Amino acid sequence: MTGVHMSIHSLFRFSFYRRIQISFLCFILLPTVVASFLNYSIAHKNVKEKIFLSNQTVLTVIAKDISKTVDDMTYASNFFVQDESVRKQLRIFTNMKRIESFNDYETYLQIKDFFGLIDVKTMNPDILMYVSNQAGFIVQSSEIQGSDPEIIRQQYETVKSRVDMSKANILQWLGTVPTHSTTVLTNSSYLLARVIKSPNDAQPLGTLFISIPDRYFMKAFAQLGTSKLALFDAYGQFIAGNREVSYGSNAAMRNNIRNESPIQYSGWKLISDTPESQVTGEITKTFFITMGLIIPFFLIFFFISMYVAKRLHRPIRKLQAGVEQFGNGNRRIRFEERGKDEISELGRTLNIMLDQINQLIWENEQEQEQKRELELQALYSQIRPHFLMNTLNSIKCNLLLDNEMIHSQKINSLMSLLRAYMKFNEPTSLGNECKLLFHYVDIMQMRSDIEVQLDVALPPVLSNLEFPKLLLQPVVENAFVHGFKKAVDRPKIVIEAEQNEDWVEIHISDNGLGMSVEQQNQLNAELQSSPDAEAWQSYKRVGLWNVLQRLKMTYGSSSSMTCAQSELGGLTIVLGFTQKIDAGGSAC
């Protein structure tokens, strides 16, 4: 499995056009080879099945023909055993050694006439029958091919010892006998015998021999065409046919087409064996010719596909090279936009993208230039605050020399606020932020001519909490502007902070005019919905929106701002945010 994964991984490391080429080859060659192999296998199987069925049909016909011949031979032997006139002539024939008289000749002709009656029944001129007596004198059925007296005598001498004289009136299967004359070598014959005895005294009258020559079987076997065919007896001994056919199947012929059919009344078995190469040779030859044609076409297609793939991949290589040049700093590179195919569309899209990138780069350069100008202006502007701070400090010193403590304190508060404004982006602590509020309240009392009491209650763990500078000032300013716009008895602002696990809340309460419940609900809804800045510009409490946005930017989107009725009688603004704090008061 590891090797397969590595092969797939190495395939995908190829270039794009090489992967396309390999994919095309796999999707074309593999289905072609698989389809050809399946077609060859199916055709191979179908042809073998058809040949098997055809052979079996012909074999059955041949087996029936041979079974009929065996039945006819049984009938012929019964005729000699059961016919009284035949037995009468055989009694006279029993001790005849040769024809010595006219009576002997008459008996000889009478027996041959009996054979003539049997021949009419069997109607098979290839079957030879003859009868012999105790003295070995033979009378044959007819003068047919292979009925040479020398051959008949040779067969008789070969098989007479195989005849069991005690088994009368039944057919005995004597086996195959090769026969030859002094001039001509003939084929073998299969012999059957039947001992004929008198039913009265059981004296032997003679023996009937039936000889089936090879040519009879060859004529019958010729119906099967080119297949190898052989006939075997009940003991598996070869009778006739092709000796290459074995009685039992063996490993060498396992793939051959083998058919078997029994012969009735005899126990014989007819077996055909057709070599597989003889049946499927043309199919196999056609398959290999097809494969031989596919391989050259595959090679031609391979080289053509390489050429086509390179041409298809050429625009992609140009795009790749152009992108690399652009990445190396050539911002003037552009791609050709010929045609209307996908590559041309991609080139047009890349050109648009490069124009946009160049525009963004130009805008970024302009922005950086503007920032440099602003930083320079900021450096210039730092001169003026320092000049003002030095001037205020000189006035403060003169007032102290003149013992003007009140105005000196006011100028000191103003200077503290100016220092905070000058370092607005620098973080501070919650404790320092509350100290700065005392200076702010001091200035606001002078401006509004309202004596306001400011009380701060911070737990020590929260006093050192890092906190945005000037974040609480807009909330306190709202108390002056809105809460104390009318005369209030002993105006007061209270700032408290508390911590519950990681959640921190800061309460800014006053005893001013406050708000109705409907106004409080409306303000809370607006604070929770977080409208954009333009929507708050038309609202007179835009400072609250700024505080909420700075709170979220500092402590996260879970930060919140809500208003509620104050226990002092006015309004309470609650700032809540999440901040982990260690035992020393530092934020984690």
**Residue 368 sits in the same domain as residue 468:** no
Residue range 509-524: average pLDDT? 88
In a domain, 55, yes or no: yes
In a domain, 327, yes or no: no
In a domain, 583, yes or no: no
Give the containing element (helix H, strand E) for 212. Answer: strand 204-213
The percent of residues above 70 in pLDDT, for the chain, comes to 77
In a domain, 304, yes or no: no
Q: Is the pLDDT of residue 193 over 70?
A: yes
Identify the domain containing residue 351 by its residue range: 334-381
Contact 208, 123 (CB under 8 A): no
In a domain, 453, yes or no: yes
In a domain, 307, yes or no: no
**Residue 340 sits in the same domain as residue 467:** no
Residue range 389-408: average pLDDT? 63
Phi and psi, residue 194, nearest 5°: -145, 120
What pTM did the predictor assign? Answer: 0.47
**Residue 72 sits in the same domain as residue 191:** yes
Domains: count for the chain:
3
| CA–CA distance, 172 with 162 (Å, rounded to integer) | 9
pLDDT band for position 122 (cuts 50, 70, 90): low
CA quadruple 387, 390, 394, 400: dihedral sign: positive
Q: Say which range, 47-61, 90-104, 407-421, 551-565, has the weakest mean pLDDT.
A: 407-421
**Residue 339 sits in the same domain as residue 261:** no
Beta bridge partners of 575: 506, 561
In a domain, 246, yes or no: yes
Contact 158, 177 (CB under 8 A): yes
**Residue 363 sits in the same domain as residue 498:** no
In this structure, the chain runs to a length of: 588
**Residue 338 sits in the same domain as residue 266:** no
Give the containing element (helix H, strand E) for 316. Answer: helix 276-327
Q: Say which range, 330-339, 468-477, 505-514, 555-564, has the weakest mean pLDDT.
A: 330-339
**Residue 83 sits in the same domain as residue 167:** yes
Contact 411, 399 (CB under 8 A): yes
**Residue 365 sits in the same domain as residue 452:** no
* Domain boundary, last residue among 226, 243, 274: 274
Contact 406, 400 (CB under 8 A): no
Residue range 277-281: average pLDDT? 71
pLDDT of residue 575: 93
**Residue 269 sits in the same domain as residue 350:** no
Beta bridge partners of 52: none
pLDDT of residue 576: 93
**Residue 266 sits in the same domain as residue 361:** no
In a domain, 343, yes or no: yes
pLDDT of residue 51: 80
* Domain boundary, last residue among 247, 274, 301: 274
Cβ-based neighbours of 139, under 8 Å, separated by 6 or more: 93, 108, 111, 112, 115, 130, 131, 132
**Residue 353 sits in the same domain as residue 218:** no
Neighbours of 485 (CB within 10 A): 12
* Domain boundary, last residue among 343, 358, 381: 381
Q: Say which range, 288-292, 385-389, 518-522, has the weakest mean pLDDT.
A: 385-389
**Residue 466 sits in the same domain as residue 356:** no
